């Protein structure tokens, strides 16, 4: 099984089969508009603009499961991303990314790219770890998505290469992306 076996509805409601991304390097991220990591949209867009002509696709999945940080309707999410960050990469309808109602894609991603912990040398890594221990200790038990802007890098064959936790800036993924594109 690869990510090509999945589909999801675009933020405008149109079904998209992921086999359309065959041969592309892909970043899949769960996103939110009212999160401390929301400025990562800007760097994701920079990566997209820099490498889209070489075969990079970015797929953003808004999610409201983390402290209600994506409360708006799909149209509001689209407008926010476009107006504030110039997002032109593919966004999808809001989905759950953890627990029993998680989109099948995110179940697959987390089963095949386990959580390896936060970088506790990163100042926000310590804050996020503490927040989850205090408010959502159940989030830390398994390999599920822990917070907004967890990112997965997928190769041209639809295989997961690496999982990046929210504390990893999209620009810190650039070397890994370039290796796959070359």
Distance, in Å, from the CA atom of 172 to the CA atom of 158, rounded to the nearest integer, reads 21
| Catalytic residue from among 27, 28, 32, 35 | 35
The CATH number that domain 21-181 falls under is: 3.40.30.10
Tens-digit pLDDT string for the chain (182 aa):
999 999 999 999 999 999 999 999 999 999 999 998 899 999 999 999 999 999 999 999 999 999 999 999 999 999 999 999 999 999 999 999 999 999 999 999 999 999 998 888 888 888 898 889 899 988 888 999 999 999 999 999 999 999 999 999 999 999 999 999 98
Residue 35 DSSP class: S
C-beta separation of 76 from 44 below 8 A: no
C-beta separation of 48 from 17 below 8 A: no
The answer to whether 35 is a known catalytic residue is yes
The bridge status of strand 25-31 relative to strand 151-154 is antiparallel
C-beta separation of 89 from 119 below 8 A: no
Q: What is the DSSP string of 64-105?
A: -TTTT---S-HHHHHHHHHHHH---SEEB-----SSTT--HH
Ordered by start, the domain boundaries in the chain are 21-181
pLDDT of residue 119: 85
């Amino acid at each position: 099984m690869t990510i090509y076996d999945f589909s999801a509805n675009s933020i405008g409601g149109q079904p998209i089969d992921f086999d359309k991304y065959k041969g592309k390097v892909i970043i899949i991220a769960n996103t939110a508009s009212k999160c401390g990591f929301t400025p990562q949209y800007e760097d994701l867009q920079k990566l997209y603009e820099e490498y889209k002509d070489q075969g990079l696709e970015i797929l953003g999945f808004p999610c409201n499961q983390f402290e209600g940080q994506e409360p708006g309707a799909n149209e509001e999410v689209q407008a926010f991303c476009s107006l504030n960050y110039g997002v032109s990469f593919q966004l999808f309808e809001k989905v759950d990314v953890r627990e029993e109602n998680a989109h099948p894609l995110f179940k697959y991603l987390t089963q095949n790219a386990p959580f390896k912990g936060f970088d506790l040398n990163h100042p926000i890594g310590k804050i996020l770890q503490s927040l989850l221990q205090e408010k959502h200790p159940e989030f830390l038990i398994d390999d599920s998505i822990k917070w907004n802007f967890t990112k997965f890098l997928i190769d041209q064959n639809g295989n997961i290469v690496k999982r990046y936790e929210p504390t990893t800036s999209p620009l810190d993924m650039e070397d890994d992306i370039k290796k796959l594109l070359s």
